[in-house]
Amino acid sequence: MTPNPLHRRAITIAVVALFLVGFAGTVLAVAPGDAERPAWPTLADQIAKAKAPRGSALAKLIAENQEFDKYLRPDEAAKSTIVPAWLKVWYRKGHPEASYSADDPTGGYPHVLKEILEWMETHPDLRPGYYEADRQPGWDPQPEGEEGIPPSAREGAEPDATVGTNLRVSGSSTARRSESDIRVNYWNPQYIISASNNIGGTGFQAQFWSTDGGATWGQTTLPNPLSDEMNSDPTVDWTSDGTAWSTTMGIIGNTLKIRSFRSTDKGATWTYDATVSGSQTNTDKQMMWVDHSATSAYKDNIYVIWHNGNPVYMNRRNSSGWLATPVQVSGTQTTGTGIGGDVRTNSAGDVFGFWPDTGSRGLYVVKSTNGGTSYGAAVKIATSYDSYDIGVPSFNSRRILIYVSGGAYKNGTKDNVYATWTDLSGETGCTSASNEPGSSTTSACKTRIWFARSTNGGTSWLAPVKINNQSSLNDQFNQWFVVDESTGRLAVMYYDTVADSTRKKTDVYYQTSTDDGATWSAATKVTTAMTDETVSGADSGNQYGDYNSLSGIAGSFFPSWTDRRNNASEEIWTAKISESTTPTYSISGSAGTSGATVTAGSASATSDASGNYTLSGLVNGTYTVTPTKSGCTFSPASQSVTVSSANRTGINFTASCSTPTYSISGNAGTTGATVTAGGVSATSDASSNYSIAGLAAGTYTVSPSKSGCTFSPASQSVTI
């Protein structure tokens, strides 16, 4: 199939060649002897770095955008980024309205410029590639892989999690795939859809679909009815009528819009739906979510969040269609760019929009209770240590994007909202951008997955925690988070270099929580082979892409990730993770003192410095909760607590603890001797033995005395 002729651009090759001959090798922005002006790269160097063929449309575009001193700040000459100076000039020409501040780590440029650059470099004629053939499920013979491995045989396995066969979703292809989304049909989990970037292929979004619970996959490509040049940032979901939905960025030159598409045949074919972003043209990094809840007044509403320049916007689609004008949800609290958002809903139909701010380093959430028509004021979740992106040895070219992956769960007793993100570890020497490890494999600074929760519908947030803070020098990144809406189980997946001593190879790991995030399971390794995006042949521009995905319902979870096992081209992979269907809960409260052991059946916990305890992993049933601690009595001595499909909180005790006392005893060498220790004394008995009681812990000088007697030694130092 040939590309749409509307994509073709007229290119006068002779003019391009003469232009290049006239400028090759010249330093364009620096006059001879002008040492104060920045040293920009030569045109020849720029064309060579882009691998632009002589006379190509890309070479012409580079040559046409050399006005560095006019458009760029002097400091941009010294910054080492994937996005070259000529591409920044090109983008600024198209968006003079944007704010290009040195105080914003993004510089005011959209993150998607990295994808646009890769598309240009792999399509130097600046035309979309040829469409690939559509494929039915089962067309791709899976590479050799392990069958489902029992939990006991898998590293760090959680007792109730079984990881199935690693499966290649994107099929055999020479075109690199990265940055994916995946979604199980909540009403029929046999149907699953996924999507990924397809920058080096046709340039348009690759769509994948399964009708057998993820065992086999078909593939197709989004159509292009609006003459876009490429797509980026895939998202997918389902509505209850079996319609599959997808959004993508529709990119024409430096015009960036958000398109939505729909499929009525389980993802096999797609049709254009709408331009979600309205008249905006500087959009980036959208995420989509469907309200799946049968109890929600807004069931099947579709929500999308993104940023246009600096501010964050949201839109929603109901039975009447999309809002004509997107709703701005960020305000003055967002002093930089609100890139890296997410959107989720709960069973009541409440909508939560999340995003990080590159200026204040705040992570924020807004809430709508009217189906996305309007939103309340932003609430701060936490403050990150780093901002925008982080360089680590395994991912130091494209770098880790700091984004929020959120969730929400509401039932009769809970109104919880959750957020996860990647950040520096926060330990000494790892608290700011200047501490990033970058390419250093020996740096003590490392990245971790962070988690925070609200128990009152997002009004306030508990302090964030790291879900898996190993002591080793390893990095975690590209996390994705989901709530199993049928049980309330939380699950998260992420890359981790923990199994590679060089800190450059990654595996995918998975963790889960059944007590609303109070505790987390051990990390279970999902991948059966590692990926290294630092070696020759890897996609150094895009590497892993900006995010992975995770979807799950009724105890079955499907992560999707960028995989380059065996040094093949980047591909999209998944594996079914099956959890025990028996949910567990927790009992928590105050023991009345620190260091108390609290038991309930076979579960036990130790109260913390504030006297609080949590007993986790409890199935439905009645338990006797009993606190114990030497020297303490408790009221009540125990309590009978019934767990019935919900966590039990507020199971409190009071403690009355006395300071323990000890004794020093021995033989004085004679009867009737007075033996003293501190202010306490005793008299040796007929056998010359003594015992000094009622002593607190400490160091004492023990001294015997008796008229007419001398003692050896005269005294002894004794520590209790």
Q: Report the pLDDT value the prediction gives residue 661, as an integer from 0 to 100.
A: 86
Question: Which residue did the predictor score with more confidence, 143 or 407?
Answer: 407
Does residue 477 sit in the same domain as residue 619?
A: no
User: Does 198 lie in the same domain as 184?
Assistant: yes
Question: What's residue 546's pLDDT?
Answer: 95
- Give the mean pLDDT of 414-436: 98
Whether 8 shows a pLDDT value over 90: the answer reads no
Which residue matches tokens 């130091």? 396
Average pLDDT of 154-161? 58
Residue type, 244: A
Write out pLDDT tens, residues 506-516. 999 999 999 99
Residues whose CB is less than 8 angstroms from the CB of residue 48 and which lie 6 or more positions away in sequence, other chains included: none
Write the pLDDT tens digit of every residue in 430-487.
Answer: 999 999 999 999 999 999 999 999 999 999 999 999 999 999 999 999 999 999 999 9
Query: Is 141 a domain residue?
Result: no
Question: Which one, of 426, 435, 421, 453, lies nearest residue 547 by Cα?
Answer: 421
Q: What is the mean pLDDT of the chain?
A: 91
Q: Quick one: 482 and 545 in the same domain?
A: yes
Domain membership of residue 291 (yes or no) is: yes
- Considering the domain architecture, whether residues 574 and 589 belong to the same structural domain is answered as no
Q: b/e map of 632-662 (b: 16 or more CB within 10 Å)?
A: bebeeebbebebeeebbeebbbebebeeeee
CA distances 400 to 411, 432, 524, 538, Å, are 35, 15, 22, 16
633 and 506: one domain? no
Once rounded to an integer, what is the mean pLDDT over residues 483-495?
A: 96
Cβ-based burial of 714 (10 A; exposed 0-12, middle 13-18, buried ≥19): exposed
281 and 189, same domain (yes or no): yes
> Which tens digits make up the pLDDT trace of 659-693?
888 999 999 999 999 999 999 999 999 999 999 99
- Do 531 and 455 lie in one domain? The reply is yes
Residues 304 and 434 both lie in one domain: yes
**313, 257 in Cβ contact below 8 A?**
no
Domain of 365: which CATH number? Answer: 2.120.10.70
In a domain, 139, yes or no: no
> Among 609, 641, 657, where does a domain finish?
657
Tokens of 194: 């996924």
Residues 225 and 295 occupy one common structural domain: yes
CA distance 372 to 344: 11
pLDDT at 314: 98
Chain segment 89-136, per-residue pLDDT in tens:
999 999 999 999 999 999 999 999 999 999 999 999 999 998 989 999
What's the rounded mean pLDDT across residues 641-648?
A: 93
Q: Looking at residue 145, what is its pLDDT?
A: 52
Domain assignment of residue 323, yes or no: yes
Angstrom distance (rounded) from CA 422 to CA 400: 8
Measure Cα distances from 223 to 260, 331, 443 in Å.
11, 36, 46
Whether 685 is in a domain gets the answer: yes
The verdict on residue 143 lying in a domain is no
**Over 70: is that where the pLDDT of 13 sits?**
no
Indicate the length of the chain as a whole number.
Answer: 720
Domain boundary among 611, 640, 657: 657
Compute the CA torsion angle 393, 395, 397, 399 (nearest 10 deg): -120
Range of the domain at 237: 177-579
- More confident: 379 or 6: 379
Residue 229: predicted pLDDT: 97
642 and 597 within one domain? yes
pLDDT at 148 over 90: no
Domain match, 281 and 351 both = yes
Q: In this structure, are residues 589 and 612 in contact, taking their beta carbons and an 8 Å threshold?
A: yes
Q: What is the mean pLDDT of residues 184-212?
A: 97
Cα dihedral sign, 328-329-332-335: negative
Among residues 608, 634, 657, the one where a domain terminates is: 657
- pLDDT for residue 149 is more than 60: no
Specify whether 117 is located in the same domain as 249: no
Structure tokens that stand for 452 in this block: 């925070």
Q: Are 589 and 614 in contact (CB under 8 A)?
A: no
Position 27 pLDDT exceeds 80: no
Q: How confident is the model at residue 26 (pLDDT cuts 50, 70, 90)?
A: very low
Is the predicted pLDDT of residue 606 greater than 60, yes or no? yes
| Inside any domain, residue 168 | no
Nearest to 493, CA basis, from 453, 530, 524: 524
What is the value of pTM for the model shown? Answer: 0.79
Residue 158's pLDDT band, with cuts at 50, 70 and 90, is: low
Instruction: Please state the rounded mean pLDDT for residues 278-300.
Output: 97
Instruction: Output the domain CATH number for residue 644.
Output: 2.60.40.1120
Q: How many domains does the chain have?
A: 4
**Is 128 inside a domain boundary?**
no
Handedness of CA 711, 712, 715, 716 (dihedral sign): negative
Q: What average pLDDT does this structure show over 21-39?
A: 47
